[in-house]
Every structure is written in structure tokens, then in C-alpha cells.
Amino acid sequence: MTTQSHLERLNPEQRAAIETTEGPLLVLAGAGTGKTRVLTTRFAHILLSGHAKPWQILAVTFTNKAAREMRERISALIGEPAEGLWLGTFHALCARMLRRHAEYVGLTSGFLILDTDDQLRLVKQVVEPWRIDVKRWPLPGLLGVIQRWKDRGLTPDRVTGAEDCGYADGHARAIYAAYQTRLRELNACDFGDLMLHIVEILRTRPDVLEQYHRLFRYILVDEYQDTNTVQYLWLRLLARREGAPSNICCVGDDDQSIYSWRGAEVENILRFEKDFPGAKIVRLERNYRSTAQILGAAAGLIAHNDGRLGKTLRPGREDAQGLPVQIISTWDSDAEARDVCQRIETLRRDDHALGEMAILVRAGFQTRAFEERLVQFGIPYRIVGGLRFYERAEIRDALAYMRVLINPVDDLAFERIVNVPKRGVGTAALQKLHAEARARRSGLAEAVESLLQSDGFRGKSRERLASLMDVFSGQRRTLEKEGHVVAVNGLLEDSGYLEMWRNDTSPDAPGRLENLKELVRALADFGTLGEFLEHVSLVMDAEGAAEEARVSVMTLHGAKGLEFDTVFLPGWEEGVFPSQRTLDEGGDKGLEEERRLAYVGITRARHRAVILHAASRRIYANWQESMPSRFLDELPDEYVEREGETPTRRDRQDYSGFFSNSVFSDSQNSTMAPLVAKRRRVSPVHEDLMNSAPQIEVGVRVFHQKFGSGVVVSADRGATEVAFEESGTRRVMSSYLQVMSD
């Protein structure tokens, strides 16, 4: 096996990114520039050229999917299974390290990893002495505050008073400390702790750090732009070795940083050269995915952001000429969905695979409209995202049963299942249980046994709880004798859990049973139940069933890293995209992140990108007028084609009042926009209309298709405020108003 063969068919930049093995290296990899290929080939290159043994390379990703893909591709390159590598997600790798040194942070190596439900249950307990008004300070928000601190590498003692920003009346820091104490008592970690604890250990135990410095000769990091502060600290601790070069290679794209709200710090990538002196930077700019038009449109858009490291995607393919990016204006969100479906239909007739089309939305609520239409059109689709496999209630329940099986003092799990199926244990009984457990200084399960003996339960609930405890002890014996698959089957059966779903008449019950079957099937792939649970808490994700011929509907965030022949990008309207909330909370930074999200969206497309916006959108209960997104104006004209145009911001002034006595009679039939005019090609008829249009002024009576008649309260450029008779005062676009002649 020669190294050379792997370096063939790489462009010079990719080659440089692979062959520059020594010293810090930042690979700025634009969308579709062969990032994964570089990462995996680099890994293989280091191995095959004898620079390091497999276990001396640390390779970090964010998602399990990325880790899996990398592992597979490395296997293919080196011609053997890639096992025993330090390759995985930040969290999985940290968990692995933490199991080795858990005692330094007051845990044992068998610590439990909590899911979000557990966290909530725990914080609920912890917060009690503070008598927090949970209406004002919802607990998930409190957990969010704590999580942000953990993202930044702040243990409770590192949180300053000023940081305690007032959530929960300034008690957040104290609650955080108490929460951490409880976790320790339970020998448990939440996700944030996996990073936080190991960083704390590396910070305070030079001997441990030294151990890893000797171990890891090379570090590879994927999606560096998405790292948060703890992750950055962890990498920096590991990479900066005394008297040796920092062989850290970070691959990322500052233009695709879209997770700041989860604690990601774009600054990490922007600062790379300062953090790692002598760093080299390689830019991958040749895009092998998209047509020149798509790249041009995306480049024009992202150029509006400041503070970029700077990178311009160039078409890398010969056949890169293609269609312009289409911008479609529609009357309302229904028409938008209909339009997309019709286009999908047309493409399908022309033999385009449905699996190669995607509808990428800004927010989850947008999917519903598409779902309905797709059903109506009979187009197979799948909603990607939503609840992942292990987040489903039945899976969590089953896992909780398993956790109690191998660990009778796992109170969080026990609390979850003690009354599922119903065993007559409500809040009162639960409180009694907690009291008993506290008194005996034992777990809840033991408290149940104790109360059963002392007649603490009556009637049916006594019977059922006794039976539950018997099932657990019985299946624990089975576990030893016949293994975990048999034991778990027995447990779920005898506890009545499966029966509960069989008796459930709701339409999703069969699906849930199917999921449970799937879960039990997966058990067999693991040697022990403990291994399985570890895997599940860190790694298990919905491995989508083989790529079917379905249109994908997902959020822009969810689409990162994917590509499709055709991408539909609906809802490009001010307030929706860019999202009003981001604008309010994040200001200019927020806007830039939204723009990056738009950039991510466009660059998912290989051949066709279709952007849509609607003039009127139903959000929850009511219709809202919406302006075209400013991003539409930022797309360079030479790469786009506008159709069914409503005025964009740029020409709103010219067009306002434009349609007074007209026009949009057949909004229902037409998937075209209400306005027939095409940009920059205003016909004489239209000009005529424009000139003769009565002015919309304050006090004028107007009519609006959706809101009926009303009186203009204020008029300002395109946006006009109208007091409607039926629906109150609203801001609407004046081009949708007809002036009523008295």
C-alpha cells in the first residue's frame, strides 16, 4: 500500500492540506470543496506514511454521523477496519477520557450520563429550596443558563457575580452549584459535564495532561467554526505541547457557522493564527458540487458579511454552467407550498429523483404547510429532524427500565418508570418515596421495598409495586444466567410495559411497539447491557432507513453537510428569514448568522436552487403581511431570475401604490404572484397604472384582499398602516391595497 495512490486526483490545495502534517494548520474548506475527503485522506496519510500509530491520532467531529462516515472512509483508505482509534464526537471522546479519570472530579468510572429529561427532573428537585417562581423563570431556561456556563468552561466557582445575569432572581449560580453537587452525589454527568470535567482535570492535573500530550501526536478537528469555548479549551490544552509542535489541524468554514445560539464561537476559527503561532492556512475554494450560478449567487450573498476570513468559491467542475437561481414570488404561504409541489411534480415527470430534492425551511412551523400539500399532491416525502429515535418517549422509558435493571439506585430512571404503566404512584406517593429514601439514605427502589414491608402502600398500588420489584429481581437473575437480550425482553414484557402499548388505541402505538422491537434488536449487537446504554446515551441516532425516493423536508440547520440536486428555499421574508427573533436578540451579529444560514441553504444545491417568498403568511392564527427578505436583494442579479415578482425592498418605492384598482382576482388559481410584472421590464400598461394610481394617503379608505376594508392611518414607503374594520390596525404593503372610491 503506497501513500501516493491516495494523493492522486486531489487538487493542489487539498494536497497541501493533507501533506502539511507538522505544525498547526487551518483548512478553510468552503461548501462542497471536498472537506471530508481531505480529513480522511489526511488521517490515512499520517498513518500510511508512518508518522503515527492509529491510536496516536485524535480525530474529533460534532456528530455521530460525521464520525461514522470518517471511520468508514478511513477503513476504505487503509484497507482494514479502523478500530481502536480516538475518533469520535467531542462528547464521546471526553466520556472515554473521563471514565479513566473520573475520581479527580468526584465521580467513579461508572458514572451515568443523563438525558435532558433526567436533567429537568434533577433541577426540579434541586431548585426547591429557592422557591423559584417557575412561571417567571421556567426550568428549561435555567438549565439553559447553566448549560451556557458549561459551554464556556465555567465551573460554579468560576462564574462571577456579574455573570449571574439575573435569571431566577440572581440565584442561578447558587442553583448551578447545588445542581453540580447533586450530580456528583448521583455519580452522574450531563452532556455539558463531559467536556467541563475533563477540561477541569486537564487544567489541574499536569500529570494527566502530560499523559495525553505523549499519546496524541496529531489532532484533527472537523467543523471547527462550531466549537464552543470548552471544546476550544480542551483542544488547546491537548494541542499545546511543551517543546513539541502543535500538530493540530482544524477544518472548518467561518461562513457556515450557524450555531452561535448553542454556544459556538466563530471567534475560535477567526483567532486560530493567534492561538497557534506559526499556523499555516490552506483555503479550499474549488467547489465540485454546484453550478457556477449557484456559487455566484451564494458568494454575492455572503459577501455582505463583515469579518470573514475571506474565501471565494470557484466552480471546480467543467460542466458547471447551469440554471440561474430562481426567485419566486407568491401570493401567500399556501400558494408557496402549492408552487413548490407543482415544481416537484414537473421535475418528477422529467425523471428527476425525489430523493434528490429538498425543501429547506428556516423553522419547524413552516413544514406543516408543505406536509399538507405534499400529501395532497401524492408526493412521497419525509420530514427530517423532529424527534430522534432515542428521544422518543417509549425508547426513553425502555432505556430507563434497563438502567434500573443494571443499577437499582438509578433514581432518575426509576422515577421515570415507576408509574409507567400506571401503578397508582402519583405525586403524593412519590413524595413519600423520596422521604423514605432520604430517611434510609438509600435509593428509591430500596425505599419501595421498605415501604412494602412496612405496609406503606395499600391495595392495587401495593400489589403492582411488589410485582414490579419482583420482576426486576427476577430479570436481574436472568441477566446473569441468560444474558441481556433475554433479560430485557422479560423485563419489558413482565413489567407490563409492552402490554401498555399493545392496549393503547392511539394511532401511533403500533409504531412505538415497532421502535421498541428495533431497540431490543439493537441490544444483540452489544456484549453487555452497560455497553449498550453507553452507546445509546452518546451515539445512537436515527440512522435513516436507506435513501428512499422521497422529498426531504427539513430545517436549514438540519441540512448542513448535505447536498441535493434541487433545493427549494421557501419563506425568504423579513421576520421569517432573517428571523425576527434573531434580529431582536442578536442584532447585526444575528443578521450575519442568518445570512450564513442562507448561504448554507443555497450551497446545498447542485443544479437547481429555487427561492420563494410569499406576500402574506399565516403564522399561527392570523395572516401577516410579509416583506421580501433583504437577502433577496443581496443576490447578484446576474445569477438569478425573478419570477412573479412582488416589489422587493429595492424598488418598493417605485411600486408602492402601484396596484390600486386592480388586479389580483385569481390568487387561488395562479401559482404566480399577484403581480404580473417582471423586474426591470415594466410594461407600458403597468407604467400607465402606476401613473394613474390614486395616492395612498392618511385618511384614505382602502380595501385589502385578506383584511377587508379600512382607513389608512400612516403611510410610509411600501409599508402602510391601516385600521381595518374587521381585523384591527396592521402594517401591510401598500401594493396590496386598493383605494376605494367613495
Partner DNA sequence: GTCGTTGGCATTTTT
Partner DNA sequence: TGCCAACGAC
Which residues are the active-site residues? 35-36, 222-223, 256, 604
* Upstream peptide bond of 24 is cis (omega within 30 degrees of 0): no
In whole angstroms, give the CA distance from residue 277 to residue 721. 57
**Residue 702, φ and ψ in degrees, nearest 5:** -130, 160
| 186: nearest Cα among 111, 283, 94, 89 | 111
Which one of 64, 515, 646, 648 is in contact with DNA (CB under 7 A)?
Answer: 64
Residue closer to DNA (CB basis): 68 or 650: 68
Residues 333-362: x where in contact with DNA by CB under 7 A, - otherwise, as a string: -----------------------------x
**34 labelled as ligand-binding?**
yes
Please tell me whether residue 134 binds DNA under the rule CB under 7 A. Answer: yes
- The answer to the question of residue 226 lying near DNA (CB under 7 A) is yes
Determine the Cα–Cα distance for residues 726 and 278; give it in Å rounded to an integer. 67
Of the ranges 2-10, 363-371, 401-409, 624-632, which one interacts with DNA (CB under 7 A)? 363-371
Judge contact between 610 and 346, C-beta under 8 A. no
Least distance in angstroms from the C-beta of 27 to DNA = 17
Smallest separation, CB 161 to DNA (Å):
26
How far apart are CB 324 and DNA at their closest, in Å? 28
Of 161, 378, 428, 726, the one binding DNA (CB under 7 A) is 428
The DSSP-derived string for 295-363 is HHHHHHHHTT-SS------EE-STT---PPEEEEEEEEHHHHHHHHHHHHHHHHHTT--GGGEEEEESS
User: Measuring CA to CA, which residue among 232, 365, 271, 307 is closest to residue 593?
Assistant: 307
Window of 76-84, 204-212, 481-489, 551-559 that interacts with DNA by CB under 7 A: 551-559
Q: Cis (ω within 30 of 0) for the bond into 578?
A: yes
Interface with DNA (CB under 7 A), residue from 14, 33, 41, 89: 89
Residue 593 or 625: the one with the smaller Cβ distance to DNA is 593
Place of cell 418528477: 348
Cell 401495593, residue? Answer: 462
316 annotated as ligand-binding: no
C-alpha cell at 191: 452532556
Near DNA by CB under 7 A, which window of 152-160, 397-405, 423-431, 599-607? 423-431
Kindly tell me which of 574 and 645 has the beta carbon lying closer to DNA.
574
Question: Can you tell me the distance from the alpha carbon of 273 to that of 566, in angstroms, rounded to the nearest whole number?
Answer: 37
By the rule CB under 7 A, 558 interacts with DNA: yes
* Residue at grid coordinates 376594508: 709
Q: Binding of DNA at residue 424 (CB under 7 A)?
A: yes
**66 annotated among ligand-binding-site residues:** no
Grid cell in block for residue 109 = 468510572
Residue 426 makes contact with DNA by CB under 7 A: yes
Q: Which is nearer to DNA, 384 or 712 (CB)?
A: 384
Q: Has 522 been labeled as part of a binding site?
A: no
Which residue lies nearer to DNA by CB, 23 or 385?
A: 385
DSSP state string for 406-419:
H-TT-HHHHHHHTT
Q: Judged by CB under 7 A, which stretch of 42-50, 258-266, 277-285, 639-647 contacts DNA?
A: 258-266
Residue closer to DNA, measured from CB, 200 or 223 = 223
| 291 is known to lie in a ligand binding site | no
Should residue 530 be labelled a site residue for DNA when binding is judged by CB under 7 A?
no
Q: Considering only residues 541, 634, 651, 721, which one is a binding residue for DNA as defined by CB under 7 A?
A: 541
Candidates 364, 510, 511, 544; binder of DNA (CB under 7 A) is 364
Whichever of 129 and 426 has its CB closer to DNA, that residue is 426
Report the alpha-carbon distance of residue 673 to residue 686 in Å, rounded: 15
* Candidate list 621, 680, 692, 699; residue touching DNA; CB under 7 A: 621
Determine phi and psi for 573, rounding to 5 degrees: -135, 145
Q: Which of 53, 205, 262, 477 binds DNA (CB under 7 A)?
A: 262
In this chain, which of 13, 200, 223, 275 binds DNA, going by CB under 7 A? 223
Regarding 385 and contact with DNA (CB under 7 A), the answer is: yes
In the complex, minimum distance from the CB of residue 654 to DNA, in angstroms, rounded to a whole number: 31
- Within 111-190, where are the H helices? 116-127, 139-151, 172-185
Closest Cα partner for 331 from 52, 670, 45, 719?
A: 670
Residue 653: partners with Cβ closer than 8 Å, 6 or more residues away: 717, 718
Residue 588 per-residue DSSP state = H
> How far, in Å, CA of 345 to CA of 350, rounded?
9
Asked if 508 is part of the footprint of DNA (rule: CB under 7 A), the reply reads: no
Q: Which is nearer to DNA, 284 or 384 (CB)?
A: 384
Closest contact distance (angstroms) between CB of 28 and DNA is: 17
Return the range that interacts with DNA (CB under 7 A); candidates 200-208, 346-354, 533-541, 656-664.
Answer: 533-541
Shortest separation between residue 232's beta carbon and DNA, angstroms: 13
CA 735-741-742 angle, 5° bins: 140
The length of the chain, given as a count of residues? 742
Which residue, 262 or 438, has its beta carbon nearer to DNA?
262
29 is in an annotated binding site: yes
678 is in an annotated binding site: no
**Rg for the chain, CA atoms, rounded:** 29
Q: Which is nearer to DNA, 117 or 651 (CB)?
A: 117
Q: Locate cell 467513579: which residue?
A: 108
Pairing of the two strands 314-315 and 286-287? parallel
Which of 58-66, 446-454, 496-504, 516-524 is the region at the interface with DNA (rule: CB under 7 A)? 58-66
Give the residue, chosen from 2, 108, 427, 741, that forms a contact with DNA under the rule CB under 7 A: 427
Q: Which helix (H) or strand (E) holds 259?
A: none
Q: What share of the chain is helix, strand, coil (3-state, %, to 5)?
A: 50, 15, 35
* Element at 283 (helix H, strand E): strand 280-284
By CB under 7 A, tell whether 688 contacts DNA: no
Tell me the window of 39-47, 84-92, 181-189, 234-242 that interacts with DNA (CB under 7 A): 84-92
Angle of the 333-349 helix axis to the 367-377 helix axis, nearest 10: 50
Asked if 259 is part of the footprint of DNA (rule: CB under 7 A), the reply reads yes
Torsion on CA atoms 641, 353, 290, 256, rounded to nearest 10: 100
Q: Contacting DNA (CB under 7 A), which of 221, 264, 340, 516?
A: 264
559 in a labelled binding site: no
CA distance 161 to 66: 39
Q: How many CA atoms lie within 13 A of 337 on its CB side?
A: 21
Binding residues for DNA, rule: CB under 7 A, are: 62-65, 89, 91-92, 134, 191, 223, 226, 259, 261-262, 264, 362-365, 385, 388, 419, 422-429, 538-539, 541, 554-555, 557-558, 560, 579, 581-582, 585-586, 590, 594, 620-621
Q: Which residues are annotated as a binding site for ATP?
A: 29-36
